[in-house]
Structure formats: C-alpha cells, structure tokens
Structure 1
Amino acid sequence: MSKAKKVFVFDDNVDILDLCTIILEDAGYEIKTSSTSNNIIEQVSSYVPDIIFMDNWLPDVGGIDATKELKAHAELSHIPVIYFSANNDVKSLAEQAGADDYLSKPFDIEELEKIISKYL
C-alpha cells in the first residue's frame, strides 16, 4: 500500500482544524495542523506535506505573507498551496498570495476532497 498523502492545514480556528482532521483522516490522509504561520519554512520543512491549506487570517504572519514565503523557497515552492478563507474576495487574495488554488469557507466535505484529489 502506498504511503498516505500528507496534508498541512494552517488555520487559527480550532473548530476548522478539528473538522479538517476528522474529514481527512477519514479519507486516509495524514494530517498536521497549525494555528499560526510563524516560522512557516521551518514548520513546512519539518513535515514536507503533499498539499497545504492556508487560512487568510492568521495571527502575526498572515496567510498572504506565509504563502509568498513558501512560494519563494526553492525546496518548498512545488507544494500546492490552497488558500482558504471566508472572505468574499478569496480568489483575489489567493492570487495576491501566489497560491495554487482557493476554497471558500464554509466549504463542504466534497469540495475539500475534490480540490485535494485535483492536486494529489
């Protein structure tokens, strides 16, 4: 059996992290969550996920800056970053951040799984 794909979710909302964890573990993914995008390079390097979900409103370093940092990093820039936010301009935020795609909140389980299978 192939190794489980790894998903990293950044969100400062614990309920969202719990929800994502339940959904994704259920679907057979390995998941790591973080409520802050501080030291984003260290956080991502130590886990090396196959896909990243990035919330917009994160304390200290926001989602846009964190995504830009990842995309500027030679060894991590290939990892797809999915921007997710309840902002109605999530599409333009994702573009600003240089994210690969976006998912509006609230999202349904199907949308989440669809976007993951699109990139993995």
Structure 2
Amino acid sequence: MKKKIVLIQDNKDILEVMEEILEDEGFKVVPSLTTAPIDKIEDIDPDLVIVDDNIKGNKKGSKVIKELKEDPQTEDLSAVLTSTANDLPQKAIECKADDYIEKPFDIDHMVDVVKKNS
C-alpha cells in the first residue's frame, strides 16, 4: 500500500513540482494551498504531513505542526516543516517538527527526508 502524504505549500508551482516528484517516488499525495486538510487529518490518516511555514491567509505551518504534536490523537504523526526562512532549523525544533526542508530544495534531499520520516 502506498504511503500517504498531506502536502501543504504556499506556492502553486512548488506544490505541483513536489507533488509530481513524490508521486513518481510512489507516494499518494494530498496536495493543498491551504491548511484545510488538517481539519480532516483523522479521515485522511496520512503517514506524513509536509507544511510550509508561510501559508497565505492561514496560520503558520509551524503553528499547525505544533498543534498536531500537542494533540494526543495526532502527536505520533510525522511532520516536516518547509520554508525559505534562515531560522528554519530553530523553528522546526520549536514546533516539534520531525524534520525540515529548506527552500529552494534539492530534490534528492527532499525525497530522502520524506522517505526517512514516512
């Protein structure tokens, strides 16, 4: 069975590129430009959530991950934070993300991080 990833990004082009790469790697991807899938996280039941820290019009990705990690029902869900921010490693630690992917990302590194955390 394919591993399922919820992929939330702030940029449509980046979302499409990441989705295509991950699907080529054999993952089932639930892509979104908003945090809407987080509200249905238990129904989706993903193996991994990848959230950009700067989602337009929504709360920050780091806050989304922090809330997932603080909820007993989703605390064990793997979560990866993505961003162009210089302090991304620190943000990832603060929100208890399992890992992070700096943008612009290296495709091989992104795939390694996803495989390691899913």
The match for 2:5 is: 7
Percent identity (aligned): 32
Contact 1:17–1:33 (CA under 8 A) maintained in structure 2: yes
Partner of 1:110: 108
Structure 1, unpaired ranges of 5+: none
Judge conservation of contact 2:53–2:81 (CA < 8 Å) in 1.
Answer: yes
CA contact (8 A) 1:37 1:62 kept: no
1:43 Cα offset (Å): 2.9
Q: Paired residue for 1:25?
A: 23
Give the drift of 1:34: 1.5
Count how many residue pairs are aligned between Structure 1 and Structure 2.
Answer: 117
Q: 1:95 aligns with which of 93, 96, 104?
A: 93
Q: Secondary structure at the match of 1:83?
A: strand
| 1:54 Cα deviation from its structure 2 partner | 1.1
Once the two structures are TM-superposed, the CA of residue 108 in structure 1 deviates from its matched residue by 1.6
The Cα shift of 1:60 comes to 2.3
Query: Letter of the aligned partner of 1:43 in structure 2?
Result: K
Q: Does 1:51 align with 2:61?
A: no
Distance 2:84 2:40 in 1: 24
TM-score by length of 1: 0.90
Deviation at 1:17, TM superposition (A): 0.9
Q: How far apart are the structure 2 equivalents of 1:79 and 1:89?
A: 23
- Give, in angstroms, the shift of residue 46 of structure 1: 2.2
Once the two structures are overlaid, the 10-residue window that deviates more, 81-90 or 55-64, is 55-64
Secondary structure of 1:67's partner?
A: helix
Q: Using a 3 Å threshold, how does the CA distance of structure 1 residues 47 and 38 change in structure 2: closer, same or farther?
A: closer
Q: Determine the structure 2 residue equivalent to 1:84.
A: 82
Q: CA RMSD in A?
A: 1.4
Letter in 1 for 2:97: A
Give the structure-2-normalised TM-score. 0.91
